[in-house]
Amino acid sequence: MSTVAEAITAELAKLKVIDISPGLAQLAIKLAASVDDPGNATAQANAARELRAVMEDLRKLAPVAVENDRLDDLTRKREARRARTAG
């Protein structure tokens, strides 16, 4: 089973925000490590709450992912067809 820190690190990489906001990304990783620490339950809860807020901010900073799906493919084909007929 993966730890919270591992999951957060993977999500940060997927979101591509480490280079955009390295300090906030490192804070998220440190908070996640605090959540993983089996120590004080109150400290874990506080770290989890702060981690949720930091991750929300980081998700807002993430660039919009470009995904190619069937609709995108159809749109490109239609635009190519229109360009051929117009030119």
Q: How much is the CA Rg of the chain, to the nearest whole Å? A: 20
Strand, coil or helix: 3? coil
Distance (Å, rounded) from C-alpha 57 to C-alpha 31?
Answer: 14
Q: DSSP for 8-76? A: HHHHHHHHT-TTT-HHHHHHHHHHHHHHH--S-HHHHHHHHHHHHHHHHHHHHHSPPP----HHHHHHH
Global pTM? 0.72
Distance (Å, rounded) from C-alpha 62 to C-alpha 21?
Answer: 10
Over the stretch 29-71, which tens digit does the pLDDT of each residue have?
999 999 998 888 999 999 999 999 999 999 999 988 767 778 8
